[in-house]
Structure 1
């Protein structure tokens, strides 16, 4: 007797998240169906025109918007950005660079510095030989 493996599938929201696109901007057939692991791999390796266009112009989901602006998702919320933005809107924010964006970028830079400091400190600890307890 052979066992039939059922293909691994995911909800459209999960697939959109893995593809880095805003679900509501995807075609209806994508939103209404399920996506198999094989289909997801195909979309990633050979994206159709609609996916290429979404990645190029948006609207982009919050994680992508935050990354393009160089801030955290929480920073977006603090700045009052709660909806998906297009590439054009993101570029306009970068160009105008409002005070909240400057502040959030500075905060993000401090977080990155602190992360590096902690990693270096941890690396120093692992490099030091341990003394036996007496």
Structure 2
């Protein structure tokens, strides 16, 4: 008889990362247990109110902040942004357009162009 297959589980930090939310902002019942693959899929398919609220207003983890600002995570670090930001704070930065934000957007745009050039060159070589 084959052993019974157990469902894949992950730590709450991993699940929060996959959901694009800050672990510390999630409810205690989410942080204190393990999350199965089925539970993660259910959260993604039909997010509860707390997840919808976190995704819309934050606080957001650095990858989400960087993406919404159009900069890299390294660019956030260079600017001294090392804490989570809310949607309101991100909107304020976009409105202010500080020098570091304009500079880091140019850096990311150049990196994206270079990555696209390399990908095109690589696909042309095949």
TM-score range, shorter chain: over 0.9
Matched residue, 2:101: 101
Show the counterpart of 2:20.
Answer: 20
Partner of 1:92: 92
Hey, what's the Cα distance between the residues in 1 that align with 2:117 and 2:2?
A: 55
Q: Distance in 2 between matches of 1:2 and 1:103?
A: 59
After superposition, give the CA deviation of every residue in 1:76-122 in whole Å (9 maximum; x if it has no partner). Answer: 00011000000000000000011111100000011111112112222
Could you say which residue in structure 2 is the equivalent of 1:8? 8
Counterparts of 2:37 and 2:125, CA distance in 1? 41
Runs (5+) with no aligned partner, structure 2? none
C-alpha displacement at 1:3, in angstroms?
Answer: 2.0
> For 1:121 and 1:4, how far apart are their aligned partners in 2?
48
Runs of 4+ in 1 over 3 A off after TM superposition: none
Distance in 2 between the 1:53 and 1:14 partners? 19
Q: CA deviation at 1:123?
A: 2.8
Indicate the residue corresponding to 1:129 in structure 2: none
Per the TM alignment, residue 30 of structure 1 is displaced from its structure 2 partner at its CA by: 0.4
Tell me the CA shift for residue 39 of structure 1: 0.3
Aligned positions, number: 126
Q: Partner residue of 2:72?
A: 72
C-alpha separation between the residues in 2 aligned to 1:125 and 1:42?
A: 42
Match of 1:31 in 2: 31
Structure 1: any 5+ residue segments left out of the alignment? 127-134
CA shift at 1:61, angstroms? 0.3
What TM-score do the two structures reach when normalised by structure 1?
A: 0.91
Distance 2:15 2:122 in 1: 36
**Superposition RMSD on alpha carbons, in Å?**
0.9
